[in-house]
Chain A
Amino acid sequence: MEVDKGKGEAEETRKVAEADRDTVTLKSSDGKLFEVSKEAAARLSTVLAGMIAGGSIDDNGTDLKQIGSEALENVVDYCNKHANSIPSAALISSSISFNTAPFKEPEEWERKFVDRLSHDALFDLVEAANFLGMERLLDVTCHKISEMMKGKSPDQIREVFNIKNDYTKEELEEIRQELAWAFYDD
């Protein structure tokens, strides 16, 4: 951690320089630095937007202690891809031309983006998106996880989330009977 020696003038020039830059530097919990477009960061993350507006962005890397380097790399990657993606005009795959509000479903590139993530990376990214107030990324990652969960048995879910079954045998039998219909195919 650096200590500011001469505040005042140095601080001033640093702030001016920072305001001129069009990227921000983010620092992961394990000390790795990542650069991301200021515009994309402010647009996609309410937390980063607040920090940029409030001048609490550190030129030497804004500390994001809650986010590991792998997750932060994915966040930055997402921001860059988002900045480059052309909003798709055909939001639904049919011949009807409803010319209205955006569809909430992930777009093709977003789908690909989360599909290539490992299981752990996906969950880390959900946490990071949540922490940074990235509504769209949260949407996309939660959607992916819900798709993975769909159709799974309670046993499979326990394995994924590392949950201990704390029901007694009798209790579980009772609930299973009550919910028997939910155990048929989705």
Chain B
Amino acid sequence: MAGRSGRKKRGGRQRRNPASELTEDLLVEILSRVPYKSLCRFRCVSRGWSMLISHPDHRRKLPQSLVGFFFASHDGNRYPESARHFVNVSSRDRRPPFIHPSLSFLPNPDCDYLQLLFSCNGLVLCSYYQPGAPVTYIVVNPATDKWVDVPVSPRWSDKPPTIVRLGFDPAISSHFHVFAFDIDSGGAADNVEGIVLGVDIYSSKTRLWSYKPCGSEIWMNSDSISRSVFLDGMLYMVALDHVVVAVDVDGKTWRVIDMPFRSLYSVEIIDLSQGRLHVTIIDNLPTTKLSIWILDHASEEWALKHASFHHNGMYPP
């Protein structure tokens, strides 16, 4: 903005424009509140704005640019029955997917064996099921066609893990962590509810697994399909009894955060948006209520972001 200070409104007809004097920080503060679609459009404003919007330092603050997503389909009247797909979200034209869903660079990408489990900031945790062999895991970067094996933990020989999640944050480190939760469901085969005994954590930096006992009483379903969120070096998951649990990459710090409210028939889904943990709560009785909450990490309190209310929801009163 240098050079502009010379012409004050006194002489010339040039009007003072405070909007053009905003600092970058303030501009980011404002842009972080603009809807994603408008934000993308504003990349056309100037090179400076485009750089500001896509700059890694601001990524956490601004609405994220999602390139696309994978999904799987299954159809018994089709060959192959199982298929993987990738959809671009940032382009409406009929361009081919940015990522080819075949993942043909992998040694055995067949859908019958390879399953995409969870993604975290661009990396994908996948599992390999092969008849007669224990499940193994790999971490894939679909954008670069690179992948690495996650070695089998020594603890898995007698008890393979059922809840395995990925933690990766390129803003903190280029290394990832894999978390395998150790659940004790009391021996009964049909019992999925169990207490968390500890977590086995793999670091791609040391290439070692290390086991840490759980510091709190936490219950999870051993077949939990809860998404995980990796934020500030901690992995968050939804556990039983309407809580979010978090564990750090060293397995030393555990946090248990109560959901904003408890209801017998509510379903909770966590996710990450603009650098903050969000939870969506679907409360089905007596009518369907949907609410989205943001966690304030310092105070561990939730703030309501959106709520909707359906009188004739899925379960009529």
Contact = CB atoms under 8 A, between A and B. Distances in A.
Interface stretch (A17-25, A38-46, A97-105): A97-105
B271 to A, nearest CB: 18
Interface stretch (A57-65, A75-83, A108-116, A137-145): A137-145
A146 B42 contact: no
A146 B30 contact: yes
B70 to A, nearest CB: 20
B308 to A, nearest CB: 8
B44 to A, nearest CB: 4
B207 interface: no
B91 A164 contact: no
Contacts of B79: none
B299 to A, nearest CB: 8
A120 B18 contact: yes
B162 interface: no
A96 interface: yes
Interface in A88-138: 91-92, 94-96, 98, 100-104, 119-120, 123-124, 126-127, 130, 138
A100 B22 contact: no
Contacts, number: 135
Nearest to B25: A130
Contacts of B40: 179, 182
Contacts of B43: 175, 179
B304 A154 contact: no
**Range of interface residues on B (Cβ < 8 Å):** 35 or more
Q: Which of A119, A126, A158 counts the most chain B CB atoms within 10 A? A: A126
**Range of interface residues on A (Cβ < 8 Å):** 35 or more
A95 B212 CA distance: 45
B149 interface: no
Contacts of A142: 26, 29-30, 33
Interface stretch (A6-14, A28-36, A47-55, A165-173): A165-173
Interface in B296-317: 296, 301-305, 307-309
A9 B42 CA distance: 60
A163 interface: yes
Nearest to B27: A161
B16 interface: yes
Given A96-B291, A98-B304, A182-B40, A167 B90 contact: no
B205 interface: no
B35 A100 contact: no
B10 interface: no
B34 A150 contact: yes
Nearest to A120: B18
Q: Lowest 10 A-B CB distances belong to which pairs?
A: A146-B33, A162-B20, A123-B18, A181-B92, A182-B40, A154-B44, A101-B303, A182-B41, A123-B19, A101-B301
Interface of B: 16-23, 25-26, 29-31, 33-35, 37-38, 40-50, 90-93, 260-261, 289, 291, 296, 301-305, 307-309
29 contacts: A94-B307, A94-B309, A98-B307, A100-B301, A100-B302, A101-B260, A101-B302, A101-B303, A102-B303, A119-B19, A123-B18, A123-B19, A123-B22, A127-B21, A130-B25, A142-B33, A146-B31, A149-B34, A150-B35, A153-B41, A157-B42, A162-B19, A163-B45, A166-B48, A167-B46, A181-B37, A181-B91, A183-B41, A186-B37
Given A100-B303, A166-B46, A166-B47, 13 more contacts: A101-B304, A127-B18, A127-B26, A130-B29, A142-B30, A151-B38, A154-B41, A154-B44, A162-B17, A175-B50, A180-B92, A182-B37, A182-B38
